[in-house]
Structure 1
Amino acid sequence: MPGLHIEKEAVVEIKNRRYTCVGRGPGGSYLFAPHQGRGNLYLKPESLFDQIQNNHLKILEDVEYHGEPLPDSHFDLTALETKEREKVMMRHFYMQRLIDYRDKGGKLSDFALNDFARRTHQAYVAQCKMKEQEAPIKPMSAAALRRWFRAWRKSGFNTKSLVHDARGNSHSKLSRRQLELLEAAIEEDYLDKRRMTAKHVHTLLKAKINIENRARKMDGRQAIATPHYNTLLTHIKRVDLFDQLKARYNAQYALKVTRQYSITPPVNRHLERMQADHTQLDVYVDFGGNILARPWLTLLLDSYSKAVLGYWLTPEPPSAESVMQALCTAVMPKDLVAMGGDPAWQWPMHGIPSELTLDNGKEFHGRDLEMAAAELGITLTFTPPRKPYFKAQVERKFGEINRSLLAKLTGQVFKYEPEKHGIDYPHLNFEDLKKIFLQWVTTVLHRTPNKDGNTPEELWLDSVQKYGVPGAGLSSDYIEMCLSKSGQERVVHPNGIHFNSLVFNNEWLSRLRNKLTAKNKADKPTAKFKWSASDVGLIWVLDPNTHEYFPVHSKEEYAHGRSLYNHRVVLREKRQRSKEKLSDDKYLDAVLAVDQAVNEIVENKKTKNKRLGSKVLRYLKGRPKAPHIDKSNPPKTLDSNRTIQEVNTHPEDIPINKNLSTDSISTITKSTYSKPQEDDLEVFPDDLEI
C-alpha cells in the first residue's frame, strides 16, 4: 500500500482500544501491543488500510506507552520460509551481477537487460546444480530487474529490500454490512460468558441476516449473503487468545493460560533466594488410636541448587508454627541421628537465606515470622495472590515427591480412583514416614543430576566454596530462640510453670518468681515465654526487668529434645495404660469390695442409731412436766449449811409416768440420757412430734 507506513512506538487507537506499534518485518504484519491487557494485535498493510477506510483506526500524538518494555526486534533471512528465502538469494545474485554489468558500461534497454537476465539465469542454474539445490525455471524480466534494483539501491543495498512484500488482493471480500454483522456476532455472542460454540454463533448470525433480508426484500433492496462458517472461524482466530479467554471466562483464567512460564527471577549463588510452600501428601498414615490421615509437608527449597534446605512434617494443617519449624531446620546444621536418620547420610545444606519467597497464605503473615526474619536478616517476599508459578520450583518439587516417593508407599492416595483406597491397607506410621522421607531427601533427591549433569549436592558444595555459608557465626540457641513461638503466659507456681502437661523449673525461674511475688503480693506471679514444637522440653522465659529470654528445661527428662507430636503420643500412651489398668478385673473387683464394705458399715450404723433414738424418745415422752413456779411466792433459797447429799432427790421420790415401768427407767444410763444428736434424729418420720 503506497504511502501507508506506521513508525515503531507510534500510538494508535483501533476500535476504541489503544495500541503501540512494535514494528514490522519485511513481508510481515504490523505488531501492536495493547496498553491494557496482554492481547497483541497483528495487522497486514491491507487490513490496516481497511481499518482506516472504516474509521476504526486513528493515530494518536502526544500519547506515551507505559506498558511492558517493547522488544528490540531484528530481522535476518532465517525468519523467512525456505521457498521465499531461496528467492531472496536469487535476487541478490542478480543484483550483484547487475552492479558489475553497470560498472562495465552495459546498456539498460529492455533487449539488453533481457539478454543479461538470460545469461545470469544460466549462471545461477549452474550454481544451483553444483550445490544440489532447486533452480528457477525462467529468468527474471527486465521490468523486474529495474524494480528490484531501485528498491535495493534506495535501501542502501540492504538485503531486506529484496523480500517480496505480498500486497495483492488481500482485502476482505465481505461488504461493509456483512463485516459489521460478522463482527457484532463475534463481539456479542462468541466473546460472552455464555461461551457459545462457533457453530451456534454462526447459526444465530444466519438467523439475524435472514430477518434483515426479509426487510430488505420488502424495500426492494439486495439481500445480504451469509458469510461462510470458515469465514467466521478466520475472524475469531484474529482475536487474541487472551482477549477470547478474558471475555468468555475471566481475566484470571486468561492470564493463567496465556502467562509467561519460567518467570522465576534468576539467582547466581546458594541461599540467594529460598522458596517456601506446603502441601498435603498423597498418602495415608497411621497416627495411632485408629486415626488415619494425610500429613502436611512444609518444604523450603534453595532456588540455586534446587536442594531441600528444611522441611516440617505434621498431622495438623499448616500454620505459622510449622513454617517456623521448617525454617529452623533449614537454618541450623542438621543432626541426622537426632532426626532419626543414619550417620552415613549427608545433609550439608544450612544457612540463613537472603530472601524467602512465600505465597499469600494466612500462616505466612504471622507477626512471629516477620520478627524472626527481621532478627535474622531475611527479606520476606510475597507472590501475587493465586499465582503459584512465581515459586514454581517448589511446586514442581511436590510433584516429584508424590511421583518418586509416595507412589511406592502403601496407603497412597488415588486421586482419580478413590475406590482403590481402603482402611485395610498396611499403612505406615508417622515415624516410619519421617525416616523414609529423610532418607529419600539425603540419599536420592540431593544426588539426582539435573539436565546439565550436576546434582543439587554438587552445586551447593561448589557455591559454598566460593561464597561461604551466611549466618554461620550465630549460635544455635539464639536461632532456636528467634524461631520459637511467642505469646504464651502462665502462672509461675512454687514448683514452676505448667505447660503441655509438663513442669518447667530451675533456679533462675525460682528467683524470678520471688522477684515478681515481692513486687505484687496480691496477684499470682505470671511470666511470658516462647516455645518450639520441635522441642517441648525447653521454653524461653522472658525476664521483664532485663527484656531477655533465658532457657528453662522441663523436670521430665524424657521430654528433652522431643517434638510436640511425639510428646502427645507419649501422653496418649500414658492415658491408655492408665485406662487399661483401671479396667483390670482384679482392680474392679477390689473397688466393688471396698464399696460394699463401706455400705455395710453405713447400714449397721444407721440401724444402731435408730434403736437408740427410739429408746430416748420413749423416755422423753414419759418425762414429768416441770413444776409451775408462782412468781408471787418464790421458793426458798438453799441454806448453805445443808449438804449436797441432803439436797439430792432420791430416785423413788421422782414422779414416774404410768406408761413407763421401773425396769425401763433403770436401763437409761447416764450416757443414754444425754440429748440426741441431729444425725440421729434424721431417721425419724417427718410426722413425728417431739
Structure 2
Amino acid sequence: MNIVHKAFFAAEPGQVVTSSGRQYRITHLVSIDSVFATDLLTGDSARLRVDTLQPVHPDEEAPSTIPSAKDIAQYSDKEWAEAQRRFQAIKPLLDNPVRSRTDAEMIAAQHGVHAATLYKWLKTYQEAGHVSALVPTKRGRRVGVKLLTSEQEKLIETVIEDEFLTKQRNKPQHIVEEVERRARLAKIAAPHPNTVRNRIKALCIRDTLRRRGHRETARNMYEPILGEFPGADFPLSVVQIDHTPADIILVDEAHRRPIGRPWLTLAIDTWSRMVVGLYITFEKPSSTSVGMCVSNAICSKREYLAGLGVSGEWPVWGVMNTIHVDNAKEFRGAVLERGCEEYGIDLQWRPVLRPHYGGHIERLMGTMANQIRKWPGATFSNTAERKGYNSEAEAALTLSEFEHLVVDFIVNVYHQRKHSELGMPPRRKWELGILGDATTPGVGIPPVPENPARLQLDFMPFFERSVQQYGIQIDLINYYDKVLNPYINTTDPDNDKKRRQFLIRRDPRDISKIYFFDPLSNAYVPIAYRDIGHPAMSAWELKEVQRVLREQGQKDVDENRIFEALGRMRTIVENALHKTKAARRQATRNPTKVRTADKPAMPAPVENVGQPSIEEDLFALPVVPFEDLAVSR
C-alpha cells in the first residue's frame, strides 16, 4: 500500500495544531492570516499566525517524516494518466461544496464507476492534497506492466490508429471486434476485450478529441476562452504569470559598477489583483525561473520577507486552480507541467496573437515599470524619455537591494492602495474573498504547504542516474555519500540486465549538492561533491566552463579539468570586475557570492600557449543564457 505525504493542511476550528513546540486547538478564524486557539496544556487562549502552525498527525512522529511512495517524475505515463482521469472525475465534486448524493451518482455514471468509488477517490485526494495519491495501487502486478506479446500490442495499436482515431468515430465495441477479426487472420490469440477498452481509455483525451473531429470541443476544454476567465471569481481561481526585463541598470555587490538589467517574473491573482509570487534573476527566463515563481506563490512569504528585511505582511499562500501563461518555451516542459499536475493546477497557455488574454499581468507589469523608473539607474521605455539621463552613471542598486524595493512596493504600496478597477485595495479584495462579509461567504483560509522544501524540489530539474562505486555523476561532476552504498551497481528490479536508475534533482543556482530520492526512506537526501574541497558552482558557470573547454579543443575533459578551468575563469572575472559588465554579470553566477573587496588581489592567469585564452573566449561575446533546464535524462 502506498504511504502518501499530505501536501497542505487547512487551519479550521476544532483542528489540533502545534506552534513553538506547544499544542493548541483552533477555536476561531480571526483574519486572513491568524486564528484564536486554546493551549491544550494550560487552557489559555492565544492568537496564532496560520503560517507558523503545523498539524498534529495521529500515529505519526512529525509531518516531515510522512513519506511519499514515489517522486512525481517516477510514475509511468499510464499511471499518471489514470490519476489525472480520476482527478477529472472528482473535480466537479471539489468545485461544488453543496453537492448531493444525486450529483455524485450522475458524475459516477458518466465515468463508468460506482458512486462509492468516486467518494473513495475524493477522500483520498482531500486527505493527501495532491494528485499522485490517486495513482492506483493494487495487489499483484504493478500498474503499467503489460503481459501481452509484442504482436498483440502492435495489433491493438494498429487497430486503434486505423479505426478509432479517425473522423469516422467508431465506438470501442467496433474496435474490440476488429481486433478479434485481425487476430484470427494473423493466427494469434485475441486480447481480452477489456484490455482493448483499457488501451482506448489510456489515450490522451485532448489528442483523441482532435483526431476524431472534435477540434472545437478540444479547444473549449483545454484552451482559454475569449473574454473573462471562466471561474475567476474567487481567490486563487486563476493566476497569471509572465516576465519582463526590468527597465533599470543594477550594479555588482563588490565594486558598485553597472552590471545590466535583471529579469522580473511575477504572478498575479486575477480575482483580487494580489501579487502571489515573484522571482528575480539576471538569467533569461527558463522553466526553472517559472518553477521558482510558482513555488514562491504557493508557499508562505513570512521567512522570505524576513530574509529581505522587508516590514509588512504578505498573507498569500496556497495552491491555485489555474495558471495562465503565454506560449513562450520556458512555460513548457515536463518538470513544470508534471509539477502543476501533481498539485492539481490547470496549466493553460495563451492563444497565439491574442495579447488581451494576459491583460491582468501586463497591467501589473506596467505598474511595476512606472515604479522602477523612479529608482536610480532606470533605463525608461524609449530613447526620448532617456534623453539627458545616463542610466549606467546613475545606477546604484544591487540585485538584492532591487529585490527589497520591489517586494516593499508590492507589500506596502500596491496591495494597500485603491485599485481603479476593483474600487478597493487588492489586500481588501483578498480579505473579502477569504473571510467573506455579511452578504457573501468567503472561501476560507487557503491550506498551507506542510513541506515547502519538498514542494520546491517538485519544480526543480531532475535527472535519472545509476549509482557507481564512485557515487553519482552528473555533467562530469561526481557526488557521494554513504547513503548511496546500498545502491552501488544494483540492477533494475524488472530487468536484471540493466542498471537501476535513481531519481536526482538539482538546484541550478548551486550544484555543489544534489538531492537523491532514497527508495528505502521515500525521501530526498542531499548528496555533496565527492571531493568536498571543490568550490560551489552554478549550472550556468558549469555550462560556460564546458563551452570554453570545448572551443579550445580540449579532449578527455574530466572533473579536475572543469574545476581548474572554473578557477581560472573566476580569477579572470575577479581581475576584470572593474573593467567589464560581462565580468560583473558572470560573477553573479557564483553561488558563494564572494566579494573581491574582502579578498586580496589574485594573480594574473596563466594562458595556454597556442590556444585562445579563457578571457578572450569568455568576454568576446555575450554569455549565452542557459535555457535547457527542464529535463535531462
Q: Normalized against structure 1, the TM-score is what?
A: 0.40
Which gives a bigger RCO, structure 1 or 2 (Cα 8 Å, sep 6+)? 2
Q: Normalized against structure 2, the TM-score is what?
A: 0.44
